[in-house]
Chains A and B, each alone.
Chain A
Amino acid sequence: MAFVALGGSAPEAVQQAPRKTGRVALLLLLPGMSYLALFFLTPFVSLVLTSLKQPDPSGVIGRYDFGFELGNYAYAVTQYLPQILRSFSFALVATVIALAVSYPIAYFIAVKARNKPLLKGLLLTLVVAPFFISMLLRTFAWKQIFSNDSWIVNTLKDLGVFGADSYIIGTNFAVIFGLVYNFIPFMTLPIFSSLDRLDLRLVEAGADLYANPATTFRKITFPLSLPGVISGTLLTFIPISGDYVVASRDFLGGPETAMMGNVVEANFLRIQDYPTASALSVMLMAAIVLLVSAYVRKSGTEDLL
């Protein structure tokens, strides 16, 4: 996976015959797996139960009783269809752009800088550098850079590209731009770690057999980097589909750019409509599970971990 790449080039794995000592394995697994069961798996039960709750007869805001109110789902879909569709289309567009931007970087670091460990290390550090400064501060910096009387907007107006009342913040462009920016490292690292293992002799063999560089890339390099492309697109698409910082009105978004995450946040944390927020979360999760299993089955990469 992605973050293994951070450790530089790892030594080769050693063939290990797993020993058969059931009790030790159980002792090693039990604490961590029980933790995940209690704080990762059972919350899904709570989420589904909450999504079916009905308002308490007392009418107190934020108080709900257990029930089987499927109407919450119908309400969530009819009320928030534009935000649901926007989430997935923003995620799709941003993922495709991030892939196009990141692939050449990953290729350069893994192939062109292969025999220059110092350069390679430096470039990898530059890729992950944005991780080390708060994501919110970075996104806010873009907001300032693109704000209404910023240098960029004024220049575009002076050049006549922009009309007098044009703006960038609050548009679909700004949100997708911010999403792509935030997720370039998530796309680059897994592709890098696939290309890092690419045997360059295979590429040479392609050239020896009179394939031109484009054909060699299409038939050899790209297919061999596919596992990285798959984990990169998943690592980008999934978080984006649930993101609500970039699209928030206080950051790069506006009234017309709200995504599913914004709606879940508003319903859960502001107006305390827990059932609607939970119904939306359940639907988002169901969509992601369907997507991941289809994606993984089609490309045959079972060892995602």
Chain B
Amino acid sequence: MKFSLGKFLLPTYVALTFLFLAIPIGYTFVFSFNDSIKSNIIWRGFTWDNWLNVCGQQEVCDAFGNSLIVAVSATLVSTVLGTMIAIALVRYRFKFRNATNLILFLPLATPEVVMGAGLAAQFLDFGWQKGLGTVIIAHTMFTLSFVVVTVKARVATLDPALEEAGRDLYANPVQVFWKITFPLLLPGILAAAMLAFALSFDDFIITQFNSGALDTFPKFVYTAAARGIPAEANVIGSFVFIVAIAIVLAVQIRSSIKQRKLAK
């Protein structure tokens, strides 16, 4: 076999790039164990204290709690609304289809700072007080299109014959939906919900424009950056990372096992 570029060069390049991608993650993780006093810049020795006493910095914990409340609420609303839209887009014919697609695409193509400033200008004109409610409204808005895109892909793989079979067996439309359609869509809906949660949890720009005095975790980090981020913030970042990676790895391994079984 002749020498091919992909044999050594490409795998080496890919390995090095992944190493590069991992550097700041590793850095954040390592410095979550730093025995820091005020600022967490210089390595002063290993300690478990930051992990055992995360809420030693009360603001970090409060901000983290707010982020969870916002992400859970926004995910619930946008997953329900987005799934309904996705089903309508694949299954039904209706007027203004192009307009609907355009309106759903636009939030994906709008810089966050524009969405953030626009919504903040509207809240200002309406005289609404910025806080928890406005942040949840904003997050539901920008995660909705991501839910539609993700669920739509799943609806498109659904065989309508299965639902027809249900109807032939005298199931009413509600039964058909809950007994057939919904269970088959569930993996797509769960994937969409996880994506919405991740996007909401990590959002900073739209949040900063619409949160008023409310602190979320990313907003806390941004404000703290001027004087140095406390190690407790690294603990929370690393903890979230470990949980998320565990979930994703479990899903990936499960689907690859399934694929291997199908291949046999």
Contact = CB atoms under 8 A, between A and B. Distances in A.
Interface of A: 1, 3-4, 6-14, 16-22, 24-26, 28-29, 31-33, 35-37, 39-47, 49-50, 101, 104-105, 107-108, 112, 117-118, 120-145, 147, 181, 184, 213, 234-235, 238-239, 241-245, 248, 250-251, 260-261, 264-265, 268-269, 274, 277-278, 281, 284-285, 288, 292, 304-305
Nearest to B249: A125
Interface in B141-166: 141, 144, 146, 148-150, 152-154, 156-160
Contact of B25 (A17, A121, A133, A268): A133
A28 B88 contact: yes
B80 to A, nearest CB: 8
Q: Which of B28, B154, B260 has the most CB of A within 10 A?
A: B28
Contact of B240 (A108, A112, A133): A133
Contacts of A260: 113
A97 to B, nearest CB: 12
Contact of A137 (B88, B121, B221): B221
Contacts of A19: 91-93
Contact of A32 (B24, B85, B137): B85
A6 to B, nearest CB: 7
B100 to A, nearest CB: 7
A250 B222 contact: yes
A121 B117 contact: no
B193 to A, nearest CB: 12
A141 B28 contact: yes
Contact of B204 (A1, A143, A245): A245
A43 B119 contact: yes
Contact of A147 (B21, B41, B159, B248): B41
B125 A3 contact: no
Interface string B221-236: 1100110010001100
B10 A136 contact: no
A284 B245 contact: no
Given A3-B195, A128-B248, A137-B234, A25 B255 contact: no
B95 to A, nearest CB: 8
Contacts of B217: 134
Interface string B96-127: 00001101111111111111011111101100
B41 A250 contact: no
Nearest to A304: B105
A140 B225 contact: yes
Contacts of B106: 40
Given A36-B144, A121-B252, A130-B21, A234 B208 contact: no
Contacts of A128: 248
Contacts of A37: 103
B121 A33 contact: no
A124 B260 CA distance: 17
B205 interface: yes
